[in-house]
Structure 1
Amino acid sequence: MPKRLKLNADSGQYRWAVSLLAVAVVLPTVCLLWFMTEAIDNERFVIRQKLVLFHTDQLEKARRTADGDWARRCRRLEDDNDAHPYRRLVEIVAQGGCDAVLMYDPSGRRLYPVLSTEADRTGGPSDVLADAWQLEFVDRDYAGAAERYEQHALSASGYRRRLAEWVGKAPPLDDRGLLDALIGQARCLAKLDRMAEAIAVCRQVAFSPLADGADVGVLSRIANARLLMLGWMRDRRQYDGLLEETFSGLLDMLYQPNQAGASLPADQNLFLARKAMDIVGQSPRLQSHRRQIGGAPLERLVEFEARSLALADRFAASSDLDAWEPGRLQPLEAADDNAYGLLHRSERSVCFALLSGQTVHAALGEFIGSFQSDAVECRITDDAGRLIVGPDEPRTEPFVAGPIGVYLPNWRIELFFREGDVLDRAAGERIAVYTWTGTLVIVLILISGAFAARAIGKQVKLNRLKNDFIATVTHELKTPLASMRVLVDTLLEGHYRDSQQVTDYLQLISKENGRLSRLIDNFLTFSRMERNKQAFQMRQTSPAVIARNAAEAVRTRFDKPSCHFEVEITEDLPDVTADPDAMVTVLVNLLDNAYKYSRDDKHIALHVTSEDHSVHFAVSDNGVGVPRRALKRIFKRFYQADRTLSRRAEGCGLGLSIARFIVDAHGGTIRVESRLDHGSTFTVTLPAKG
């Protein structure tokens, strides 16, 4: 088969092999990418289903928890022990759960809040004190009014005798005028800036034992007396001890009944509590004083009672609550803060609680907290469609929705995935495993494909090299054999003129035989190199002997008029450790190349020198030179820089590769310096002995 056809066949086989390899790499890669995509989508679906099932179960648990919480809130409104409304009020405020409350007995009578006009219908000033009131508020005669108040107090049912009898006893109802007289006297003394006398008189009322068994009217007057004393003493440091005692006494009267079960009306209680808070804010001496009643902060009690009084104005009678369904939280119409009402009925009382939107949100805090996370947010609306918590306009459809509980039957909770690819984040770890595994497999496939392609390419190159080698060997062996056959046939047939022509033919046969021997030696050396069977006989050798033997080996060939061969050997060269025959082969190959690639007028030189503990063998010629791009490749097997020239010159491109192999085995180096059309210099360097 012609060489061109062989190359085309090799190229076609290489393309087919590469195509099959590409299919073997691309097809698994595409399948793997498809599998990864399906696996990731399936993982998202699985994660979504897990999230839906998890939050559905969590919603059911949260409903049961919410029902229990609202049941406890309703039980707080019950009157299990016939407790006074104020005690129940303080307990409700301390525990939290609502912002205002109305309490009724089974007959519909309001138990809380009770106003002053309902609790004490005889609470106005006595007519007996009309003249003193005239002097104080109309005539502005404070001294005369103080004297007249004192006269009324002294004459009121034997004042001094009655004071002794009041200790530990409930005062009669007609003693309210006596208390009004004493308070009036103290008030007028204060207006006269006789503060010590005013405080002393007012103290008789404020700390009288009457409070324990008094009715509402008497309690109101005692509380007012204590409030007056606080206002008078807050800027006078001599009364520090009495100030704190009076403030504690006032707190003891707020939001709790006395021993007789009487308590201050809600409106008066609220007025006194607000005044007490103002006094605390204006008096540094009371800043650290307790401001709690029964575990409930005074500020919260004030806010609670203010809302309760406003709620009482809206629902004046228990019949106004007949339309409310017990145990169900319903919107309170016309409320400013999205307030809700909760009606609770028991055997002994009816309670109506008000819950602001903020309180409802706080009450649902644990319920909401069961769902809020980085991945999920919840949205709650009441039975009127009002938003309690969550986004106003969700961007996606809820993945879980349903009612909240028994006490909030028409309320609705919806769960949404937050913005961003929540499913990717939830399935991120699994997807990352899939992605990295798939990427690793794809990389391994590509690397394997690259190695396979490289192996195929190397195999194709080896096949091509083998074909070239066979063709070269055949050509190189055939040429000298053909020449020798022609010469031998000529001699055998007797076609010669004389003995000189016979001698010439025999010399030509000897030349071709030498050429054939060198080719065979190169092929054998190459074969041993490939099989790592080349063995060298290393010994201490003189570089001059190596150079002379190499020169002698080529002397016959170089001994021509057109060839000028020069050998220059420096004296006193150090010995080298080498295989002499192998090194002669190196130099012969270099000299042979110099001869082949030189022109008709050949100038070849062999120089042996020593420098830096090394011996240098330099072979120079004036030949065609080596192209720069070929300088790094000329030592490769079968490489020939000039294919055209190589067909005119004998050889198969093994000489330099054999030379480099031998030099490397000796621990030396071989380098080349060349210029086109100016010749080349090959230098072999071996380490000197010792």
Structure 2
Amino acid sequence: MHLLRSSSGTIGRTAGAWLTLLLLFVVLVPSACLLWFVNRAAENENLAVRQKLVEAYRAHLLLAQERAQSYWLRLGPDSAAVEHESAPALFARLVRDGVADAVVGFDASGLVLYPNDSRPSAAVVVDRRWREARVCEQTDPRQAATLYASIAADSDSPETTARALQAQARCLVRASEPAAAIELLTGPLAAEKLHDALDPQGRLIAPNAALMALELLPAEAAVRRRDLAQEIADRALDYRDPSMTSAQRRFLLRELSQLAPAVSTSPFLAAEDLAARWLAAPRSTPPEATLCRSSVEDVWQFAPPGGRLVFLHRTDALLARLHTAITQPEIPADVRIDLVPPGAEPKGVLLTLPAGSAMPEWRLALVFLDPGALTAATSARSTFYLWIGGLTVVFVVLLACLTWKLLQRQLALTRLRNDLVANVTHELKTPLASMRLFVETILAAPALDEKTVREYLTLIAQENLRLSRLIDNFLTFSRIERKKYVYDLRPVEASEIAECAAAAVRERFNAPECTFTTDIPADLPAIEADAGALVTALINLLDNAWKYSGDTKRIAFAVRAHGGSVEFAVTDNGIGLAPRDRQRIFRRFYQVRPQGSPANGGCGLGLSIVHSIVDAHCGTICVDSAPGCGSTFTIALPIARP
């Protein structure tokens, strides 16, 4: 029968596990499919909205493409202007107007017109006096200054005069006469007739002389320094005068930026430097009408048709110029059009198109100013889909949980029914079999011995009492489970209930191997209880103490008033309880069966019935036990109100 109960429990657990797995499969698979469909629907909605936006904004991007192409076509007339406008003046105009960061002009044969580094100068006859002055310059700079002044005075050539005066000023500086040198540099050397005089390297002498005077002027002469610096700047920035080379212009502007920072030299100094770097770097003939990288880092070059000009652009300045060129006042405020250089990866782009044939590998990108704008455009519909999917999944999960609860309850009821049938069959069969054996033994005896008959009848009575107690427990448990047990609560004497319970077991406990003691004071207070139900609970505790005690039993039954309660305590010297068993002994059909110990009879309902009865009386039951040290079960019930 024990094997039957074990098999029934195993089958029930296996069936429950399979039902749980099946329920999980039924819930998870449709939910996963639903979420997949919802996700696909949201993605398709995003794609649809994105496509609508692309179609709406494509016209703006095409217009920007046309404007970018037109920007480069407009540079053609500037290229043709080299035929009738001086190269320096054209350079200055294009840089001043922001057309490019720098421009290089060529003649028809491909030679550089501007920026140029040198120009031919007139030869000066070096006679005896020149040689004598140069020798004297090393030993007696003051005498050398006198000789150079004599040469200047006697010369009719502007170049000879200017070079002699410049040498004279140099000697005066060496002779520690800076004031005289300043007057010479800002006076005779600044004369109109020496305006275009060149030194042997083809550089204008007058602006270099003015720069030398600026270096010699003390800081106290602030006004004169300022005026002189401005004169030098005006001369250096006068691109209409083709006599000054680009190299001298760069030198003057760079020195001015150090000596007189207040004088503006932008953007021409940067343009001159960029053009010089481009000319100094290795280069090949750039393709016409095509923007391409130059050999200078971060610089782009563009040569309009004709090959007479090359426009140079730094990347950041080029992007700013093109952005101005392609900007459309009618474009929506939430987007902008960016130019993307080759190799760059734009972010937040809705649509890209090639920038045009003049800008190979460049792209035009339509970018949302607010990264969340595209998401906001599709979020409402997507959120709707997600809500529908989420609510459906939640509904399915709730339905599955409800179904699982019902299945669990049904499985529990099935296991309970199977366990009840198995326990009832086992527990009823045992006393009936014993009584049948005793009756058959008496009937089969040839002669009836009174002592033997009485002994057998006593045993039959005990088995009958056991059977009656089992049937009472089954009926009580059935009524409790079906909520049909009605408790008749009324004030009763606690001592009377205790005496009734002790009397019910005293005859059986008076066996030689059992010591049964009671401590039931007569003056115990009354309690509000159902006398029959409470006696049943106490008998179950006493019967439990008998079953789980060893061959030599010591059972004590004590009652006392403690605080506002009456406590009924049953103590035994039995096998005791492990902590794990103390948490489970009040469950239905749970029985403590230590390993290697035989079954003690019963069906595991006694303590469950006790617990239900105590709960109905608003009381408590606790157990104090340890393995091998016996157990004490204590029921505490409140004292009846007067």
TM-score, normalization: structure 1? 0.63
- The one of 223, 226, 240 equivalent to 1:241 is 223
How many Å apart are 1:101 and its aligned residue?
A: 2.0
Change in CA separation of 1:465 and 1:502 when aligned onto 2, cut-off 3 Å: same
The corresponding residue for 1:165 is none
Contact 1:104 1:112 survives alignment (8 Å): no
How many Å apart are 1:26 and its aligned residue?
A: 3.7
How many Å apart are 1:180 and its aligned residue?
A: 5.5
Change in CA separation of 1:592 and 1:249 when aligned onto 2, cut-off 3 Å: closer
Contact 2:353 2:363 survives alignment (8 Å): yes
Q: Deviations over 1:128-180 (max 9, x none)?
A: x978756645776542442453366xxxxxxxxxxxxxxxxxxxxxxx74686
Contact 1:99 1:355 survives alignment (8 Å): yes
How many Å apart are 1:406 and its aligned residue?
A: 2.8
Change in CA separation of 1:442 and 1:514 when aligned onto 2, cut-off 3 Å: same
Contact 1:330 1:341 survives alignment (8 Å): yes
Contact 2:118 2:247 survives alignment (8 Å): no
The separation in 2 between residues aligned to 1:528 and 1:275, in whole angstroms, is: 116
SS at match of 1:682: strand
Contact 1:558 1:565 survives alignment (8 Å): yes
- The one of 551, 563, 566 equivalent to 2:517 is 566
Contact 1:21 1:449 survives alignment (8 Å): no
Contact 2:152 2:161 survives alignment (8 Å): yes
- The one of 251, 268, 293 equivalent to 1:274 is 251
Q: Within 5 Å, give how 1:159-558 maps onto structure 2.
A: 177=157, 181=161, 184-185=164-165, 187-188=167-168, 191-192=171-172, 193=175, 195-205=178-188, 210=192, 224-237=205-218, 239-256=221-238, 263-267=241-245, 270-275=247-252, 277-278=254-255, 281=258, 283=259, 286=260, 288-292=261-265, 296-303=266-273, 306=276, 327-328=289-290, 342-344=303-305, 352-354=308-310, 359=314, 363=318, 380=342, 389=343, 405-408=356-359, 411-412=360-361, 456=407, 459-473=410-424, 518-555=469-506
Change in CA separation of 1:496 and 1:65 when aligned onto 2, cut-off 3 Å: farther
SS at match of 1:585: helix
- The one of 145, 149, 153 equivalent to 2:152 is 149
Which letter does structure 2 place at the counterpart of 1:265? S
SS at match of 1:234: helix
Q: Deviations over 1:605-639 (max 9, x none)?
A: 42223445543322345667668765544333234
Change in CA separation of 1:189 and 1:447 when aligned onto 2, cut-off 3 Å: closer
The corresponding residue for 1:162 is none
Change in CA separation of 1:522 and 1:249 when aligned onto 2, cut-off 3 Å: same
How many Å apart are 1:342 and its aligned residue?
A: 0.9
Contact 2:178 2:216 survives alignment (8 Å): no
Change in CA separation of 1:180 and 1:305 when aligned onto 2, cut-off 3 Å: farther
The corresponding residue for 1:576 is 527
Q: Deviations over 1:192-218 (max 9, x none)?
A: 44554454454345655x48xx99569
The corresponding residue for 2:24 is 25
Which letter does structure 1 place at the counterpart of 2:566? V
Contact 2:102 2:271 survives alignment (8 Å): no
- The one of 531, 535, 542 equivalent to 1:591 is 542
| 2:587 aligned with 1:636 | yes
Deviates more, 1:538-547 or 1:13-22: 13-22
Q: Deviations over 1:355-386 (max 9, x none)?
A: 56x74796368889x9xxxxxx9884xxxxxx
Change in CA separation of 1:670 and 1:328 when aligned onto 2, cut-off 3 Å: closer
- The one of 91, 97, 104 equivalent to 2:100 is 97
The separation in 2 between residues aligned to 1:564 and 1:111, in whole angstroms, is: 132
TM-score, normalization: structure 2? 0.66
How many Å apart are 1:274 and its aligned residue?
A: 0.9
Contact 1:538 1:577 survives alignment (8 Å): yes
The separation in 1 between residues aligned to 2:504 and 2:319, in whole angstroms, is: 109
Change in CA separation of 1:39 and 1:241 when aligned onto 2, cut-off 3 Å: same
Q: Deviations over 1:226-257 (max 9, x none)?
A: 42143145233265433332222122122426
Q: Deviations over 1:51-70 (max 9, x none)?
A: 9x979969867744542332
Change in CA separation of 1:216 and 1:328 when aligned onto 2, cut-off 3 Å: farther
SS at match of 1:658: helix
The separation in 1 between residues aligned to 2:116 and 2:583, in whole angstroms, is: 113
Sequence identity of aligned pairs in percent?
Answer: 29
Change in CA separation of 1:226 and 1:239 when aligned onto 2, cut-off 3 Å: farther
The separation in 2 between residues aligned to 1:272 and 1:478, in whole angstroms, is: 126
Which structure 2 residue ranges, 5 or more long, are not aligned? Answer: 138-143, 327-338, 346-350, 365-374
The corresponding residue for 2:330 is none
The separation in 1 between residues aligned to 2:438 and 2:279, in whole angstroms, is: 142
The separation in 1 between residues aligned to 2:238 and 2:400, in whole angstroms, is: 91
Contact 1:604 1:619 survives alignment (8 Å): yes
Change in CA separation of 1:247 and 1:636 when aligned onto 2, cut-off 3 Å: closer
How many Å apart are 1:590 and its aligned residue?
A: 2.5
Which letter does structure 2 place at the counterpart of 1:90? A
Change in CA separation of 1:239 and 1:378 when aligned onto 2, cut-off 3 Å: closer
Contact 1:100 1:307 survives alignment (8 Å): no
Change in CA separation of 1:444 and 1:25 when aligned onto 2, cut-off 3 Å: farther
Change in CA separation of 1:568 and 1:40 when aligned onto 2, cut-off 3 Å: closer
Change in CA separation of 1:639 and 1:301 when aligned onto 2, cut-off 3 Å: closer
SS at match of 1:590: helix
